[in-house]
Amino acid sequence: MRYFITLSYDGARYHGWQIQPNGISVQEVLNNSLSTLLRQPVEVTGAGRTDAGVNASMMVAHFDTATPIPSNLDYKLNKFLPSDIAIHSIEEVSPDAHARFSAISRTYHYYVITEKSPFEPYAYRYPQPLDFNLMNKAAELLYQYNDFTSFSKLHTDVKTNNCKITLAHWQQVSPIKWEFTITADRFLRNMVRAIVGTLIEVGRGAITIDQFRTIIEKKDRCSAGTSVPGNALFLADVKYDNSIIKE
């Protein structure tokens, strides 16, 4: 039987979602917790791979079991897991449903603050003036392209750097805080943080909108801006076709 598990986590003390040889990961903690509670080996597969320090207000993963799970597994799992990982739901899905490959879209949020804040661990403080209107005009160019090699981590194992971005927009959510929302069918490693870093270059006047377009077209990571810190990045939503959920 296959189940989808929806969870959220604070990524501060983890080396990302995926199991790593040099540090603890969210996937490892979840594998161990489920295996202990279900008394059988369990491995979860996530909808994506968040990097070290990156958070998720919504992550989806799937796992398989030989027998039905207890109806209160979500409650037991929340009692068992550390406080920085929370389970929101566990649903049985079709046997061929896949947390990663069945996803229709993913949405990330990135937060920038312009002044000191007690919530700074979850935002990137950038005290210099930024022109967010100009940054939005640059972000609109992303809709015109599919190849985002310029914003991808080098030497990854993906077969293509093509993605379809359907939303990329900055909005002010408080007097000192701005939220960047980006939605696509898939994302490359480090892609959102590299895009945000390059849009900040536009916002501070270091590059023009035309130069931002040239950076995309060069398909060269070295031409883009520096990646912004991961602590301000959240995986916010993962969409699926409802037909994969078993009634």
For 38-83, give the DSSP string.
HTS----EESS---TT-EEEEEEEEEE-SSPPPTTHHHHHHHHS-T
Catalytic residue among 51, 84, 131, 147: 51
Catalytic residue status for 84? no
> In Å, what is the CA distance from 3 to each residue of 6, 94, 127, 169?
10, 8, 45, 33
Residue 174 host element (H or E)? strand 165-174
User: Residues with Cβ < 8 Å from 95, sequence gap 6 or more?
Assistant: 1, 2
User: Would you please indicate which residues are annotated as catalytic (active-site) residues?
Assistant: 51
